[in-house]
Each structure stands twice: as C-alpha cells, then as structure tokens.
Structure 1
Amino acid sequence: MKRLTMALGLLVPVLSFAQQQPQPQNWHMLSKETDKVYGADVVKAYNELLKGKTPKTVIVAVLDGGIDTLHEDLNANLWRNPREKAGNADLDGNGYKGDVSGWNFLGGPNGQVTTESVEYQRVYYRYKDQFANVQNEKQVKKKDLQHYRSWVLSKSLLKKADSIAPVDYRGKEVKDDYFNIKDRFYGNANLMGNPYFHGTHVGGIIGAVRGNGKGMDGIADAVKLMGIRVVPDGDEHDKDVALGIRYAVDNGAQIINMSFGKRVSPERKMVEDAIRYAEKKGVLLVNAAGNEGSDIDSLPHYPSPFYMKGDKRAPNMITVGASGATEKGLIASFSNYGDQTVDVFAPGVAIYATLPENKYSPLSGTSMATPVVAGIAALIKSYYPDLTAKQIKYVIEQSVTKIDFPVTKPKSGGKKVAMTELCRTGGIVNAYSALVMAEKMSKTK
C-alpha cells in the first residue's frame, strides 16, 4: 500500500503482514511475559480477570472518515439510535434526520465530500490578501490573532507544489455557514462515503465482535460503535470536528476515538470549546499523536490537549504514540512524540483489523494505536462503570508497562533515548494492569 496523504489516515506504508514481521496477527492483544511481544495484555486480562463478570455496554464514538455499517464483524456492535428510523424524518428531534448509527458532517442532501486539500493550503490562500503586508502580531486585531498565527505557520509549510489555490470541495456539497458554529444541522446519515476504510479499521480494533469466528476480535466485548464522519481524504475542518464531538456527547458516547490530525487549526477555539463540553459531560477523548516522526511539544499537532490560553491541558484527553512488537522496533519510526504532549504509547504497527466489504488487513499508524487505547478505556468503563473519564485516564496512564531501556528516537538517525523523553508516562498501555488498578479504585469509591 502506498503512503496515503489523507489526514484521517495517519497511516504509513504497509506491506503484507507476512512481509513485515513474524508476529501473530493479534500481537497487539498479547503479553510480553507469555508471548514475547510488547502487546497490551488484553488476552491475559480476559483469561485471568474478567471471567464470570458481567459488563455494561459502553458507547464509543468513532470520529473518522466513515465506517462500513454492513461489515460482518462490526454490524452487531454498531450503535443504534433507539428513537430514530432511517429516512428523511427526524423522529427524535435532534436536528439530524435518519441518524440511525451516527452522522456524516461531510455532505449535504445530494452528495458528500470525499477529497479535500490540506489545511495549511486553505488557510494561506484564504487570508493571503488580509495578512500579506502584516509585519507582526501588534498590527493584528485580537479577534484575528488565531487566524494570523495559523496563516504565518501555513506560509512556512507551503511548498512549490501548493502554488495553485486549493479547490473548495467542501463548499460544493456542505453549503453551511462555516464560521458560524451554531449552523450545525448539515450533512446526512450516510457513513459509507469514501474513504471509509480507515474508520472501519479503527472501529474493528475497538469493538469488532469477539468470539464469532470471523476475522479478528475487538478489544472491548460490550461496546456500541457510533460512526461520525468528519474527516475526508485530506485535512479535516475544525467546525466538523467540533460538531462531531458535540454530536457524540449529546447522543450518549462515553469515549470518543479521534484518529486524525493536522499541523494547522485556524478555528481552534471551536474544537477547544467542544473538548471542554465533553469534559463537562464526563466524556473521555483519545487522540492520535500523528505520524511525522516529530516532537509535538515544539511542532504542535491538532487537536492538541493544551488550550490556547495558559498551559492548562484537557483533563479528559489522552494523546497516543505508536509502538511496535519487539524491543528492536519498540518505538514506531513514524510516530510523533513529546514528553509533555504525548501521554502513552500503544501498539500501532501492523495491527490486523476490519476493512470494508468483510475484509481484513494490517495497517500501521498512530491511527491504529489510538483505538487500542480507546478499546482499553471502553473495557475499563464496561466493567467499572462507576469510574469517571478522568479516573479512567489516570488508570491507563499509571498502569503502563514501563520501558526501562533506551529506545530509538524517531527520525534521529538511530539515537537512543529514555522512553520518558518521548512520552509523559514512559510506557506502553497495559489492559491487565489497568483493570487491576480499576478494581482497586472502584472498591475505594
């Protein structure tokens, strides 16, 4: 598979599974102790901790490029809006007609967006006339400051290949008032617009049906997947992301998976307000660190866990880097990192999961590591429903498998560093240890 340009993909080149490494297909679920791979200890958790226990169903929203709602390994675990029916009626009165399994913010009544430009192209050409002669921030009105900062960054990212202004594919179909967050009832209920393979893969990692003898098992056994389409082949728009988060929260999602990202966020406040809304409602967000092999403490990747004002970070957000199966390639060479911004690492290399039309394949990226963490969060929430989003974040972070040997820093020419230089916790997520800690925390409540 070639490298994909889509922001939602956060994907890297993937060979056939057999060409990559002689690891089991489900290595990300296995254990260092028994299987000699740095998996997330999910199988061990089921075998030793969860037998005989009854979980409560957890709703996980998959903000992505869509999802195959007909897939043999996903259909039974899709969220169903109990007050809605397919069609053009809005029976539940939430403003989204026929939202049976979720919503698509990338379309209109007659079609949908599949391809888009990258954000820095859009920002550069949108504000070129307004800011071309501005010398510094003192010349910019306060209300325009974020746009100016985004424009300056976009200008630095511009390449010769970007010399032609991008086509506004979104404007052709969506036709909303983009800068008005209150204009939110646009889109349609079709979650299967291209490129929906990515969300299908992400959804499978979290919650493909377990034990049905088909394809692969998801991490969480009592989960309903809510599809929310906000990311095309290209960079997502901030407004769609913000409304996608709000839709998920308003419709009962307890965990939101966000396997996407970009370098420029001109309407960052919209997204931050939505993150704060999710925090207020007790919803956990799991966010991909990105795949440029960069230090995102200094080169931010959005959505960011840090707010624009001050150094406060969202207490309901986990940012995830990608790890491999063995000590030699433990830190994925493509993964972003940052000892302030990235919270944990999780398996994200050659993760075998669902693809459209009842297919399965391994993919690599922080996009794949993120749903590993979201799946563990759903597992914790389903067996310990009294734990809050902030407590689940704490449990996941405090229960990591600590890496006490030097690891290779991405894109450093092979430089070895301590794991604590790459993420806050210095470790890889561990479902078994997290559930043990969750049990103790639940008993003390």
Structure 2
Amino acid sequence: MSIARTPFFLLVFITLFSFNTYAQTKKAKDNWHNLDLQMDGVPGISTERAYNELLKGKEARPVKVAVIDGGVDIEHEDLKEKIWLNKGEVEGDSIDNDSNGYIDDLHGWNFIGNSEGENVHYDNLEVVRLVRDLHPKYVSVLPTTLLSEEERRKFLAYQKMTTDYMSKLQIAQITERVIKAFKQQVDSIVSDIGKDNPTIADFKRYEPKNKMARKTLSMIEKGIHEEGSYEKFYDDLVEGVKHYEAEVNYHLNMDYNSRHIVGDNYNDSKERYYGNNDVKGPDALHGTHVAGIIAADRSNQKGIKGVADQAVIMVLRVVPNGDERDKDVANAIFYAVDNGAKIINMSFGKAYVKDKQIVDSAVGYAMKHDVLIIHAAGNEGQDNDSEPNYPNKNYVDSLGINKGVAENWIEVGATGWKYDETLVADFSNYGKRTVDVFAPGVDIYSTVPGSKYKEEQGTSMAAPVVSGLAALIRSYYPDLTASEVKKIIFDSVVKPTYRVKITQDKTKKKVWLSDISVTGGIVNAYNALKLANDFAEKH
C-alpha cells in the first residue's frame, strides 16, 4: 500500500540489498513545505508568502476536504477545531437522524468496522486476496488444458500474480529475519553500554566484540546522524520490525482474512450501508498526519500550520494495515460527495485491483458533482506509465479497455527540500502521462495521534499538500469549479531549470521534470492564488 512511509530503518535493508533511498545530510527547515524558494531557500509551495502578500483582509468560506485514509485522531489539539461536524446528526442517540443510511456519523464514517464497534486493523495485500480467490479455479490447469482466449488471458494473469506473491513473501520473510537479528545486535550493544538512551559519544567509545558488532555499530552511528538521536533511530527500528512482522503475519499470509469482522456481503460491490462511526480506528497515525498537512489550525499557536486555514476535515476510514478494498474506497467517495466534500484526498494505493468498475463509478459520481480528487502516486520509485497504481484516473470496462479519464483528478509525486538534482524523492513514483504534479513529500512535520507531532515522508504527504492548496483556492474563490482549480494548479507550477535524478529500469539517469510528469513542475500556492484571482475576475 502506498501509505507506507520511508523511515530510517529501511536504510538497513537498502544497505544490505543495494537498493536506493532518499537520504538527507542535514535537517530540513521547520515548515519547509510551506516556505518559498526565493525567500527561504527551500522549494516549498510558498504558502506563507501567499498568506502574507495575497490573502490578508480577504474573506474565505469553509471547504470540506474528505480524508479517505486509515483514520484520524479528531481530538488532536491542532485538529479538533478543524473536523467536520454533521449537523444533521444527534450525538449518541443511535438514530440515523439525517436519513443518509449511517447512524451517528458525526464526523464521517468507518467502512472497515462493524455495528458492534469492532474494527479491522490488519488485512492482506490485494495480490494475496486475488490469488486466494483464483487458486481453486486454476490450480489444476495444465499447459495442455484447452482454454478460451479470455480464460487463457486470465490464467496468465493468475500465474503472474502468483509469481509476484511468492517473491514478495520470500523477501518479507528474509527481511523480517534480518531486521530482527539487527535489532538484537543493537540491543546487545546498548546493554553492554549500560544506558537506556546512549549518545553518539557512548557508541564511539564502545569496543565492538566481532565483525558483526562492528557493522552494527557503524549503522547505529549513521542512524543517529540521519535521525538526530539514538531514540529516533531506535523508534524507527522498532517500527521496521513491526512492519515486517505485519508483512509476514497479515499482508502476505494466505490463511489470514479479516473481512468477517465487517460482516458485509463482500461480493456485493454495490452494498453501501455497513461499518461504524469510529473514525479513528486502531492506528490513526497516517491519516492524522495527512489531515494535519491539509488543515492543522494556523491560529492556535500550537504545533504546525496546515496549508488551508478554512479547510474542514471529513474523516473516512477505509485503509487498514494492508491494502484497502475497492468496495470500501468506492463507498467512501460516494459518502464524501453526498455529504458535501469539494476535495477528496486519497493517500493510498496498490499494485492490483479487484473491482475497478465500482471505484470508477464512484469517481465518475464525484466528477459529476464538481469534486476534485487528489491521489498519491505511490512510493515504489517506479514509472506508473508502465506499472499501474490503483486507484487511478483511467476508466476501464470489464476487459480492462480504457474508456476515458476522470478529468478532475490530480496524481501527485514527491519532492524533497534540496533544490538540486536530488529534488525528486527517489522513493516517488513518476510518469509522463500518469503523474500530474510534484509536491513536497520528504521530512514533512505534521500531527500524529495523542496531540503529538512527527516527521514522515512519502507521496502520502505530497498529496495532502496539493489537497490543502486546492482547499485554499476553493475557500477564497468559491465560485471556481473543480476543473478550473485543477487548471490553476497545473498552470502555476514552478518548473526546475535543471534535470533531476531518477532510477528507471534499474538504471540511474537524469531527466527533466517534464519527462516524468504531465506539468513538469512543483505546485505553488503563491502563483496559484494570483492566477485564481485572474480567473475570478473573468467570472
């Protein structure tokens, strides 16, 4: 799933297996994604400059932004005043007061829970679910078995999925063993030092007992240098262990299936009314971080500043620890549109799809109701032109034949805070036809549960920067349509005057941003609001 971040612990495996990573040699400026290249020296989107120079004294209207994600901590000190309240509902009366099919949906809805209050925490990857469903049909097929052309195509697709699944499982199992062994080495060294939170000086004084300890010590020192402290390094290491345990035990476990918790008729894609009103769920870190980037209170002197001062967050929980399901995504989109959201942020994605038609129908519904959808391009460092990432803006029929595109859709790649050839985060997906714009997505400091704050990175962080920008435009220029807002965002990007590094077909190369995206640029709030003003004057 593309909601995965890229914390330091991945450096361990990148080093061991010679993968690439986006690593910085110094710390980013606070609030860098909202800063200005000319004034502040970092390629942010010039939000602060826009507020200071263009928006003072101007009136704005609240804009509902639906965050379809893994849940949001609606009590966070920097978000609680920015959460949508469904005024048609009466809290706690267990009645569907507004007759929209959802009981006590005060702040949104959770499509991966049940009416008893139970919630899905973990789920499989989509490839596992597909292989599991198709296995009984194709397990006995032989090379000599007669199949129709369509069945042969489906069988070959099943074989490809199976190969991919087995490869992912093997890598996850190996990596789980490696990271656990690495953590044991770290724990052993720290135990020898005799401090719970040792400093870099403590590690430099430590005499390693063997070659493995020497390598581990080197990685610890590098981790402290990158993260700023042993505590942060170790937290990411623990997160890494949990991630790969989840990969093996849940994401890639063919015997695990959590859908019974929801209790819906999963095969009925058009079923709409199931779930519960617990919009936080068991793990709201990712969704809370996303919501903060968009709408964290700019006036309360706490924490951080969201991009859009008038954004109101509608929370829709559909993403477990694992891959989201198409039926839930579609229902979240329908809910968002029916309840007045004008922008939908979707910081998730996957490599396979079960029921694209139901998602397409919901996307089409959003297009007809003047809603702008912002979607994260993914974190695999791949070309989405050749390796599809779902959901996407392409409408297809049951045979996978393209039937047009969703016009009011923006696909977002991620950039870092160094304005040089490393500008594009090397975990970011790209695509000359499929990725529209880039936005800051590295070392983004935002809200996390418990009224805390943390840096995260991924295209998951870049997408809400663009959603915040769209909300900013629509709040100050409410008469603009979704298509006009999209055009404004596209026409106002900042285009680097140099080539950037990417890895394509396992080869490192330098390309123009226009070679790997539709617009060839990074979104910019200052430019966009000036252009929006021009559009508004023509209305």
Same fold (TM over 0.5): yes
Compare 357-366 and 175-184 and name the one that shifted more: 175-184
Q: Shift of the alpha carbon at 1:14?
A: 4.6
What is the TM-score with the length of structure 2 in the denominator? 0.77
Query: Residues 302 and 55 from structure 1, CA distance in 2 versus in 1: closer, same or farther, beyond 3 angstroms?
Result: same
1:312 aligns with 2:312: no
Q: Contact between 1:120 and 1:151, CA under 8 Å: does it hold in 2? A: no
Shift of 1:264: 0.3
Q: Say whether residues 1:116 and 2:210 are aligned partners.
A: no
Question: Which of 461, 479, 484 lines up with 1:391 in the alignment?
Answer: 484
Deviation of residue 415 (structure 1)? 1.4
Out of 345, 363, 386, which is 1:275 matched to?
363
- Taking the aligned partners of 1:270 and 1:134, their CA distance within structure 2 comes to 33
In the alignment, which of 446, 470, 475 is matched to residue 377 of structure 1? Answer: 470
SS at match of 2:395: coil
Q: Distance in 2 between matches of 1:150 and 1:232?
A: 26
State how 1:155-174 maps to structure 2 within 5 Å.
155-159=162-166, 161=169, 165-171=254-260, 173-174=261-262
Is 1:96 matched up with 2:102?
yes
Q: 1:189 aligns with which of 246, 257, 277?
A: 277
Instruction: State how far apart, in whole Å, the 2-side matches of 1:318 and 1:10 are.
Output: 20
**1:194–1:388 CA distance, 2 compared to 1 (3 A):** same
Q: 1:231 aligns with which of 300, 319, 333?
A: 319
Q: Deviations over 1:113-161 (max 9, x none)?
A: 01011000110111112244387984437xx98x768645522421252
Instruction: Check 1:404–1:169 CA distance in 2 against 1; reply closer, same or farther (3 A cut).
Output: same
Q: Aligned to 2:418, which of 319, 326, 339?
A: 326
Per-residue CA deviation, residues 264-312 of structure 1 (Å, 9 max, x unaligned), is 0111111011000000011000000000000010000001111224362
Task: Assess, with a 3 A threshold, how the Cα gap between structure 1 residues 149 and 75 changes in structure 2: closer, same or farther.
Answer: farther
Contact 1:260–1:290 at 8 Å: present in 2 too? yes
Say if 1:8 and 1:232, in contact at 8 Å, map to a contact too: no
Aligned residue type for 1:384: Y
CA gap of 1:164–1:64, structure 2 versus 1, over 3 A, is closer
SS of the residue corresponding to residue 325 of structure 1 reads coil
1:13 aligned residue (7, 15, 30): 7
Same amino acid, percent of matched pairs: 45
- Partner amino acid, structure 2, of 1:122: R
Correspondence for 1:140 among 129, 142, 150: 150
1:327, distance to aligned residue in structure 2 (A): 2.3
Report the CA distance between 1:24 and its aligned residue.
1.4
Q: For structure 2, which runs of at least 5 residues remain unmatched after alignment?
A: 10-22, 171-251
Deviation at 1:442, TM superposition (A): 1.2
Q: Call closer, same or farther: CA 1:216–1:391 in 2, change over 3 Å.
A: same
Judged with a 3 Å threshold, the aligned counterparts in structure 2 of structure 1 residues 279 and 151 are, in CA distance, closer, same or farther, namely farther
The whole-number CA distance in structure 2 between the counterparts of 1:189 and 1:35 is 42
SS at 1:140 equivalent: helix
| Contact 2:381–2:428 (8 Å) recurs in 1 | yes
Contact 1:150 1:266 in 2 (8 A): no
Q: Distance in 2 between matches of 1:254 and 1:97?
A: 23
Shift of residue 183, structure 1, vs aligned partner: 1.8
| Bigger Cα displacement from structure 2, 257-266 vs 85-94 | 85-94
Partner of 2:37: 32
Cα gap change, 1:314 to 1:138, in 2 (>3 Å): farther
CA contact (8 A) 1:77 1:208 kept: yes
Report the number of matched residues.
Answer: 433
Secondary structure, aligned partner of 2:533: helix
Query: 1:403-422 maps to which residues of 2 (within 5 A)?
Result: 403-410=496-503, 412-422=506-516
Per the TM alignment, residue 355 of structure 1 is displaced from its structure 2 partner at its CA by 0.4
1:225 aligned counterpart, secondary structure: strand
Decide which structure has greater helix share: 2
**Alignment partners' CA distance in 2, 1:223 and 1:272:** 26
Equivalent of 2:346 in 240, 244, 258? 258
CA contact (8 A) 1:28 1:351 kept: yes
Distance 2:394 2:53 in 1: 37
SS in 1 for 2:123: coil
Change in Cα spacing, 1:60 to 1:130, as seen in structure 2 (3 Å) is same
Matched AA of 1:80: L
DSSP 3-state at the match of 2:373: strand
CA deviation string 1:161-193 (max 9, x = no partner) = 27852411122x111111213321111000121
Q: 1:166 to 1:307 in 2, by over 3 A?
A: farther
Q: 1:113 to 1:427 in 2, by over 3 A?
A: same
Q: TM-score, normalised by structure 1?
A: 0.93
Whole-Å separation in 1 of the counterparts to 2:91 and 2:155: 43
* Shift, 1:413, TM fit: 4.8
